[in-house]
Amino acid sequence: MTDKTGFHIDVNGLKAVSAAYSMYIETYGCQMNVNDSEVVASILAREGYAVTQQMEQADLILINTCSVRENAEQRVRGRLDVFRMEKKKRPGLLVGVMGCMAERLKEQLLEEEKVVDLVVGPDAYRELPQLVRNAGTGQKAVNVLLSREETYADICPVRMDRNGVSSFVSITRGCNNRCAYCIVPYTRGTERSRSPETILDEVAGLVTAGYREVTLLGQNVDSYRWQNGHVVSFPRLLEKVAAVSSGLRVRFATSHPKDMTDEVLHVMAAHSNICKSIHLPVQSGSNRLLALMRRRYTREWYTDRIEAIRRILPGCGISTDIIAGFCTETEADHAETLSLMKQAQFDHAFMFKYSERPNTPAAAKMKDDVPEKVKSRRLQEIINLQGRLSAESKQRFIGKTTEVLAENVSRKSPDELSGRNSQNTVVVFPKKRYAPGEYVQVRITGCTPATLQGTAE
């Protein structure tokens, strides 16, 4: 499920035949963490482990963590308390912490959280089998070393999605941007790209397995670059992925405004199976704050990119990220963010209060000086405005027909299907003769704050 702190997905449901051991994996954070969990499941499957949806049946519990926001870490610590109780019942149970929080808090996790047996950073997943064996014999099991080369390009992830319709493919790892507030470059290392051949092979494998949609993932997909005799840029990679199958919808996330080019937009316009949806985090509408954040673009540059999207891709869905209460933010800065939101007319936004993350440039050199009450009030104003913008965005679909990829049976009714259109808006419609994995033309008749509602034509 998703909430205002990002993605929290209990990844489970797959069981391998004749597995000797079972593992239970919980994933916190972004879509890239979901993909990492699938890589881990593949690595451990070779050692006889299969994924189980029942924590009580697991021989090994792994929690894949995120350090981007403080409350994500707090939720992880709460889950460790649950695992501690389970371990009291079954002393032989092993518990491991993976991902960004593992890299950042390795010593505290082993010394303070007595429940943790192994700690594995994002670039050390290949070492998991040996680390699990070490932990099983009571040895210290830690590897949080970062790599300049690791992309896990040769590993075919165990797909843990439940619908068998849409999946993720990582194209880059790490980040070079070093925004002042962001801990990712220090927990995931420098940016490196996968070879296009391994990406295309993975996408082709998903098509063969019956998947109908793929999302290309990277901290900054636009900076993808592979050079081996010839250069493959992100626009060229996007073209190659779209050409794998005309029946496969292609998405990507996340784009950095400084790298979003018209070339990418023209490729999207030229291929009907590339979804018309772009996530373009703005963070603030104030040039002063954007400079402090080290975002390396201005408000004017950002609005130029929005105008280019509207011009080249009419009707494209645009979403964003916004931080309320960054260091030294004034009421004037906040007002500029609100005005940019109105100008950009975002369809959706992830909105957060600034929380200082240790070891970032902001933590080292800036004072987190905006009072908590002020942060909360400004965030609520951002949320209220985006609520109105999102409602207006959905209203524009009413009376129109949109193509929807059915993904699941609706949670509210077994007689309805739920899916997304090209603009990444959720659509609910009567199931009738349709099933997940089918493209359906749906005429929109109404909407709620979260979804569009319609009837299949």
Regarding whether 266 and 183 lie in a shared domain, the answer is yes
Burial environment of residue 370 by CB neighbours within 10 A (0 to 12, 13 to 18, 19 or more): buried
Contact 169, 203 (CB under 8 A): yes
Regarding whether 350 and 419 lie in a shared domain, the answer is no
Q: Which token pair is 253?
A: 């996330």
Regarding whether 447 and 374 lie in a shared domain, the answer is no
Regarding whether 127 and 47 lie in a shared domain, the answer is yes
Regarding whether 352 and 289 lie in a shared domain, the answer is yes
Regarding whether 79 and 101 lie in a shared domain, the answer is yes
Confidence at residue 90, expressed as pLDDT on a 0 to 100 scale: 92
Q: Which token pair is 204?
A: 């082709």
Confidence at residue 335, expressed as pLDDT on a 0 to 100 scale: 98
> Is the full-model pTM beyond 0.85?
yes
Regarding whether 45 and 100 lie in a shared domain, the answer is yes
Q: What is the CATH number of the domain that holds 67?
A: 3.40.50.12160
Regarding whether 343 and 234 lie in a shared domain, the answer is yes
Last residue of a domain, one of 395, 413, 445: 395
Measured CA to CA, the distance from residue 197 to residue 203 in angstroms comes to: 10
Regarding whether 105 and 20 lie in a shared domain, the answer is yes
Q: What is the CATH number of the domain that holds 433?
A: 2.40.50.140
366 domain-assigned: yes
Regarding whether 356 and 212 lie in a shared domain, the answer is yes
Q: How many CB atoms lie within 10 A of CB 428?
A: 22
148 domain-assigned: no
246 domain-assigned: yes
160 domain-assigned: no
User: In angstroms, what CA-CA distances link 263 with 217, 232, 279, 305, 313?
Assistant: 19, 13, 16, 12, 12
Q: What is the CATH number of the domain that holds 246?
A: 3.80.30.20
Helices 331-344 and 372-395 cross at an angle (nearest 10°) of 10
What is the chain's pLDDT, residue by residue, as a tens digit (457 residues)?
223 233 333 333 333 334 589 999 998 877 888 889 999 999 999 889 999 989 999 999 999 988 777 777 788 888 999 999 999 999 899 999 998 888 777 777 777 667 899 999 999 999 999 999 999 998 879 998 888 888 898 888 888 776 799 999 999 999 999 999 998 888 889 999 999 999 999 999 999 999 999 999 999 999 999 998 889 999 999 999 999 999 999 999 999 999 999 999 999 999 999 999 999 999 999 999 999 999 999 999 999 999 999 999 999 999 999 999 999 999 999 999 999 999 999 999 999 999 999 889 999 999 999 999 999 999 999 999 999 999 999 999 999 999 999 999 998 899 999 999 999 999 999 999 999 999 999 999 999 988 999 999 8
Confidence at residue 9, expressed as pLDDT on a 0 to 100 scale: 33
CA angle 156, 160, 164 (to 5 degrees): 95
Last residue of a domain, one of 353, 376, 395: 395
Residue type, 398: I
228 domain-assigned: yes
Confidence at residue 110, expressed as pLDDT on a 0 to 100 scale: 73
434 domain-assigned: yes
365 domain-assigned: yes
Regarding whether 184 and 73 lie in a shared domain, the answer is no
Confidence at residue 71, expressed as pLDDT on a 0 to 100 scale: 73
Last residue of a domain, one of 110, 143, 176: 143
Q: Which residues of 188-221 are buried (b: 16+ CB within 10 A; e: fewer)?
A: bbebbbbebebbbebbeebeeeebbbbbbbbbbb
**Structural domain of 78:** 2-143
Regarding whether 377 and 258 lie in a shared domain, the answer is yes
156 domain-assigned: no
| Domain count for the chain | 3
